[in-house]
Structure 1
Amino acid sequence: MSLPARSTTGAARRRRGVVAAALAAVAVASLAATPVASAERSRPVHDKALQAGLEALVKDGTLPGALMSVRGRDGRVTNYTAGVGDIRTRSKVPTDGYVRIASSTKMFTAVAVLQLAGDGKLSLDDAVEKHLPGVVRGTGAGAAIDGRNITIRQLLNHTSGLTREMPLMPQGILPIRDRYFEARELLDAALAEAPTFAPGQDRVWMYSNAGYVLLGLVAQKAAGRPLAEVITNQIINRAGLEETYYPGPGDRDIRAPHPRGYLFARNDKGEPIPGELVDITRFDPSIAGAAGQMIATPSDVNKFLVALQDGRLLKPRQLAEMRQAIEAPGFPAGWRYGLGTIEMKLSCGVTAYGHGGDADGFQTRTAITSDGRAVTLAVTNDEAGRAEVLDFFDKALCAAK
């Protein structure tokens, strides 16, 4: 469930004209001025250059399918597809289909925590110990880890020093695809891993899924309710997201319609075999938990971010905190990390805010510019074409139409 630098049918399905937007790069004072739901409607006219670029991504078949939702500066939505949704049947990619949004889940987890801060139920500078006394104590190689020395803010911006590894999947997803994991099990495995640095040490940064798993437990404790319920009630329902959900225990499928997700097959040495793909659409996402478990359509991810930027989800102070970004070594040039969101300097000189993620079988990228152009892009192989996907994502955000 890393970032770019590494089944039931929905009852309220489709509303093809629902727009979207992602995180805002706009200043807090200008958020309310961005056109939102009242301007949202579908537009059938496609940008030919964007369609051609999307088709180029899938041309050699290593990325079987691609789907994208674009919210123009005028508030209108255009949905794009390319490639195939199923390499066996050669079916089309469903327009605005459901995908695993992977680490874009971190935006939802961060919003839940920031809402709790806005309600006075926690402070971002609280030690984790205050909310989970005695829980965060390292063992073995992780003996130096101590919740008394880690703050909620450090978890949010990845300066806690918790491991970047996912120790419960040393051989990847295939051997554990049907295994259910409790959040505490994920945390305990991470606490046995050596920390990458001391919390907050000289602004050292290292992406950590374990940190967001821990944030999910903090949010549950502060709210007094399960994290999935908190996210559903306080974010999904409040923003009117009809095609976004947090899979429940045992839910290994993706709601229909959806493209299928793929991995490269591997040889006896564990090396990928180019051109040979394995279907990994169905697996238990609990291995990612609060760091990457959620599922949504591209247009609904954008819709979430519209609600975030227009103040329906966070108070101005908390939204400003969310966008306080720091240097993130290993990310593309011009990218910095805030509290569950990434500040992106685009090739056209514009700043956008968003996130992205790689769940097995799916790559997703999402962001919004200060003037309201939003793009959510998904492709159906998380192991191929990452640089090309990022380059096209930048072009889509910078496009004039």
Structure 2
Amino acid sequence: MHEHTQRRTARRTRTARYATAATVAAGLALTALTPTAASAAPRPDVVQQRLDALVKQDGMPAALATVKGRDGRSRTYTAGVGDLATGVKVPVDGQIRAGSNTKAFTAVVVLQLVAEGKVGLDATVDTYLPGLLRGEGIDGRNITVRQLLQHTSGLPDYMDAPAMADFTTIQYRYFEPRELLDGALAQKALFAPGTDWMYSNTNYLVAGLLIQKVTGRPYGEEVTKRIIDRIGLRHTYVPATGETALREPHPHGYLTTGPDVPLIDYTEMDTSMAWAAGMVVSTNTDLNAFYSALLTGRLLPAAQLAQMRTTVPTELLGPGVRYGLGLQSRPLSCGGLVWGHGGTIVSYRSRGGVTEDGRAVNITVTTIPDAQTAQHMTDAVDAALCR
């Protein structure tokens, strides 16, 4: 659900299951001619190679991807099995829990409200939610909406609260946003607002509450009306209260709790634990369509899109990575940037984004990978966009 889940789960040994694997060999040149060959063999597909390696070498149950090329055409890929219990194939472009890609959806709605004059980016949280944020070093009168969206508020992460210590006990538990927020406010502020950067799901929990307060409508309804229906994301939705199953064909997602411990099927879950920070369900193809629509100005006026793309350095997320307002950029080996967000929730991780010239990729695996496998996912995104 969030980008520092990897660090936290590493401390709890949740991601220690998989053995370290070498990076996939990069020998992508045409096969050499044999003495009897009339022509060179077909070029191996780099994306399929990378997905196969994520399964065979890194131990992911499944990997799936959608890649849109410079010509605008999309191709889907799968590797592994969709259900470890039955061995069924991975559904092509199956639904996945999009995790923190949800933050980009949430930020878009807030920025639409900014464009409508209903929210000020540099107004304080107390302007809209008076008295909500109070705690040790925490005061909503000193935290701006911009700081929420850019993770520069200093708010501690509710995912570090005791209630979130063991995912096996809360798979079907419902959380009110207020209960999650209380878990954050019981902790000390990370830093004074605007003085540093640290990823915290609490920022987007508050952004969801702000959306509800300003619009007078439920968070999910606003995301659906303003984004999903507007650009026709047919396989994307915000789960309803109490909804635990995925609606369409999907690969199963798995929780790992330690080395050499059987994976736990965590496909079904109550995503209220993630809410406006990570509960959206989507597909790789729909995520490509969302980020493409966003970057081409179909969801935000130019002024708000420019604000969203105004970034600060966030080396914690990787070399050269910068974070805007619910949107991050990462440099590509072939030059330029890929814009997106990525997402992690208990049993799925996605990486990808779009380029200025319209290329797009999203890759998903069906458990939270260890650090080396996560890097292999990032490398696969780069290879797909730079091939």
Cα distance in 2 for residues equivalent to 1:109 and 1:169: 24
Q: In the superposition, relative to structure 1, how do residues 128 and 304 fare at CA in structure 2: closer, same or farther (>3 Å)?
A: same
Larger Cα-atom Rg = 2
- In structure 1, what is the equivalent of residue 133 of structure 2? 136
Paired residue type of 1:260: H
Cα shift at 1:275? 6.3
Q: Single out whichever of 110-119 and 381-390 deviates more from structure 2.
A: 381-390
- In structure 2, what is the equivalent of residue 261 of structure 1? 253
- In structure 1, what is the equivalent of residue 181 of structure 2? 187
Cα shift at 1:46? 10
- In structure 2, what is the equivalent of residue 388 of structure 1? 376
1:188 counterpart SS class: helix
Contact 1:246-1:293 within 8 A present in 2 as well: yes
1:364 counterpart SS class: strand
Aligned partner (choices 149, 153, 156) of residue 156 of structure 1: 149
1:163 counterpart SS class: coil
Contact 1:361-1:380 within 8 A present in 2 as well: yes
Aligned partner (choices 170, 191, 199) of residue 197 of structure 1: 191
Residue 236 (1) aligns with residue 236 (2): no
Residue 332 (1) aligns with residue 318 (2): yes
Paired residue type of 2:265: D
Output one character per residue of 1:259-302: Cα deviation in whole Å (capped at 9) or x when no partner: 001122x4xxxxx1236311111111110110001100110111
Q: In the superposition, relative to structure 1, how do residues 53 and 193 fare at CA in structure 2: closer, same or farther (>3 Å)?
A: same
Could you tell me the TM-score, scaled by structure 2's length?
0.87
Cα shift at 1:346? 1.3
Cα distance in 1 for residues equivalent to 2:358 and 2:147: 29
Paired residue type of 1:292: G
Paired residue type of 2:122: D
Contact 1:327-1:335 within 8 A present in 2 as well: yes
Cα distance in 2 for residues equivalent to 1:371 and 1:274: 44
Contact 2:46-2:383 within 8 A present in 1 as well: no
Paired residue type of 2:312: I
Identical aligned residues as a percent: 48
Paired residue type of 1:102: G
Output one character per residue of 1:87-112: Cα deviation in whole Å (capped at 9) or x when no partner: 11111110000000000000000000
In angstroms, what is the RMSD of aligned CA positions? 1.6
Q: Which runs of 4+ in 1 moved over 4 A?
A: none
Cα distance in 2 for residues equivalent to 1:241 and 1:386: 27
Residue 83 (1) aligns with residue 54 (2): no
Q: In the superposition, relative to structure 1, how do residues 397 and 3 fare at CA in structure 2: closer, same or farther (>3 Å)?
A: farther
2:260 counterpart SS class: strand
By percentage of residues, which structure has more strand? 1
Aligned residues: 349
Cα distance in 2 for residues equivalent to 1:305 and 1:47: 28
Q: Single out whichever of 112-121 and 343-352 deviates more from structure 2.
A: 343-352
2:279 counterpart SS class: coil
Could you tell me the TM-score, scaled by structure 1's length?
0.84
1:2-401 aligned within 5 A: 2-3=2-3, 6=6, 48-60=45-57, 62-138=59-135, 143-166=136-159, 167-201=161-195, 204-264=196-256, 266=257, 272-274=258-260, 276-384=262-370, 385-399=373-387
1:353 counterpart SS class: strand
Paired residue type of 2:73: R
Cα shift at 1:196? 0.6
Cα distance in 2 for residues equivalent to 1:274 and 1:74: 44
Flag the structure with more relative contact order, 1 or 2, with Cα contacts below 8 A and sequence separation at least 6: 1
